[in-house]
Chain A
Amino acid sequence: RKEVEQDPGPFNVPEGATVAFNCTYSNSASQSFFWYRQDCRKEPKLLMSVYSSGNEDGRFTAQLNRASQYISLLIRDSKLSDSATYLCVVNGYPNSGGYQKVTFGTGTKLQVIP
């Protein structure tokens, strides 16, 4: 089983739709979770952190389910500008050097259609 798994998509949704992505992780000791956005041929950029109680940033809602070991990203009222690849990032337990292994998912591609 991969450490972090995402549905690659693409998810093709009309403008104004609500879309949700899930990301599962295998290491139950994982401590930090993030969603990054990557536009075509660009670098990844932080979209939002994921907190245990769930968190919202405008049209974006992130949730964490530790029992089932997945995080989710919900996008409401999709805009054309939301078209991108969304990467989930999971940080594991610190190793002996104090470094937490950072694992990126392969990304889920979203295409918002006019």
Chain B
Amino acid sequence: NAGVTQTPKFQVLKTGQSMTLQCAQDMNHEYMSWYRQDPGMGLRLIHYSVGAGITDQGEVPNGYNVSRSTTEDFPLRLLSAAPSQTSVYFCASSYSVLGTTEAFFGQGTRLTVV
């Protein structure tokens, strides 16, 4: 039981490049989400999904796209990387869509945009 698996762990991008951060969970959780963590800002929600085929925007969605074709996978796409997107990104999943149960996080992706 791997939990939440995120890849890659580290990435350096040039401004304007695009990339996809992968996230997969094997706990059959309906709810998945992407956060970014910046110093002094805490974890901020980018996008979330309450089930396959259903996604919605979080607090800071601009510059990011998501899709949820299966229960297991929830990739995050950076469309045209900007230095402001330099951050640590975490994928999370939880059993309840109501936010009342534990969230399990992936190990994070440290992204630097130069």
Contacts and interface: CB of A to CB of B under 8 A. Distances in A.
DSSP class of A's interface residues: helix, strand, loop or mixed?
strand
B50 A91 contact: no
Given A32-B99, A43-B108, A98 B43 contact: no
Interface string A77-109: 000000000010101001001111110111100
Contact of A94 (B41, B98, B102): B98
A45 interface: yes
Contacts of B108: 41-43
Interface residues of B, number: 22
A49 B98 CA distance: 15
B3 to A, nearest CB: 10
A31 interface: yes
A17 B55 CA distance: 45
Interface of A: 4, 8, 31-32, 34, 41-46, 49, 87, 89, 91, 94, 97-102, 104-107
